[in-house]
Structure 1
Amino acid sequence: MTFIDQHKQEFGVESICRTLTAAGTQIVPSTYFAFKTRPPSRRTIRDEELLVHIRRVRAENFGVYGARKLHAQLRREGISVARCTIERLIRSAGLRGASRAKGPRTTIPGNGPDTRPDLVERDFSATAPNQLWVADITYCRTFSGWVYAAFVIDVFSRRVVG
């Protein structure tokens, strides 16, 4: 419908619908005009009202509430709504609650034998700087996702060198 709205002044609704039908998307001009003139359904109106409440409750609770806690809070406030409705609305609005899930899986076992040589023979000691460096990788959860950091450490001084 947005495509038709954007191009109807240039091509006309009937010719756009004819072209879309030829391309495999069957749409009749009367369907388009009925969609544009039809008032919003009761479900659409109710969904908009509920989204206002959902966003308010999430804002009051630092954006960590998921469907289960949103449902409980709205019920405590006297707003009767099904949990599946809340799940549908937060999914369509692109909202998510905070997850207690574990971190990302960083170690995946291989299929075959480990053929990499142990160059230090598990002896992680050094008598002077710059004799032995080891590497480590770690990750940290942020609001925008997981951040990975790799370090190169001098074994003697235990300082990050890279």
Structure 2
Amino acid sequence: MTSMAKRAQYTLEFKLEAVRLVKAGQSMAAVAATLGVVEQTLYNWVKADREGKLAGAGAKPVSPEQMELARLRAEVARLKMERDILKKLRGVLREGIDVKYAFIERNRRHWPVSVLCEVLEVSPSGYHQRRQRTAQDRPHRTRVSDDALLANIKAIHAQVKGEYGWPRMWKELLALGVRVGKERVRKLMAQHGIRARHKRKYIATTNSNHDLPVAPNLLERNFTATAPNQVWTSDITYLATAEGWVYLAVIIDLFSRQVVGWSMQPHMKAELVTDALRMAWFRRRPQAGVIVHSDRGSQYCSGLFRDTLKAYGMRSSMSRRGDCWDNAPTESLWGSLKVARMHGRHFATRRAAMDEVINWLGFYNARRLHSTLDYVSPMTFEKNWLAAQQGEAA
């Protein structure tokens, strides 16, 4: 059994972002599932935040009046944010009632059906009647109509914000129980101009022109792993906002392609990548020997990062100079993130950009179908593997 069974610990940054998602209007269950934490743990963080204790024992005591005021403000902010989020979807979903019903069906575990119906201007009773008729008709249906299929495609396309081309769209439909051929999906998407957003090239962020120690390339482009916590990869990217740059560092487990650690800062010092590594270690608690692969950036060659690797019993591996293909899985993640959520967007604040990144990382880990994993999400892939291991051990 892997060391993943050990109790995970979480950095303050991770806890604060989890609480922020709840305050933004997502349900406890949805946030817990997205971030891979126990719902009771998330509840404890939210409660501690309301009491002013999440930052640790050094927090100042809060009076009952202040606690109640904070709770009311958080509730008002949550309701306003929830309504704002849903209202943003109006322009995307003005495609008819079938698309709206399909969207509600896909999101009813994230937001109350009554709120979804209100914002999308449909009747809750009409939605439930349609759902009941669909359930009754499903055993007798041999072929979904083009209109119904298109409604599902448009709803998925809106929810993933144009990230899926026809192969992922087809797999997503199959996962939802819509039995349809891939060629039919491809033709219907092409006929209605529904396509994935195209990727663009981005500038490298790290600087390898330094005299710091460089680790050997232990991977040699072998990006396969037979179990979790064998090989992790890491990299840095940047996001533009009106307030200035935000730098994002991630740690990816190559086995499941899951983002197991991340950090966002207004700088790209060694603390940025070290904080991401710490988050990954606290969440996974791996045994010694994990390979951590990165480029030759000064952040990864720094004494702080090397000392942290040594303390965790990890081995450093680095790409050849200027060779992005030596870290292709992480480069692929950047392409997906920037195409899906960042390209063409303008963020007034760093906080707005960070919120969008956290939202996408949760979607990527929990729901995004990954072609390398035979079109299941990273969390699902790892969950299935763990279930198989437990079955063999029984």
Bin the TM-score by the shorter chain: 0.3 to 0.5
TM-score between the two structures when normalised by the length of structure 2: 0.15
Which has the larger share of strand? 1
Which has the larger share of helix? 2
Higher alpha-carbon Rg: 1
TM-score between the two structures when normalised by the length of structure 1: 0.34
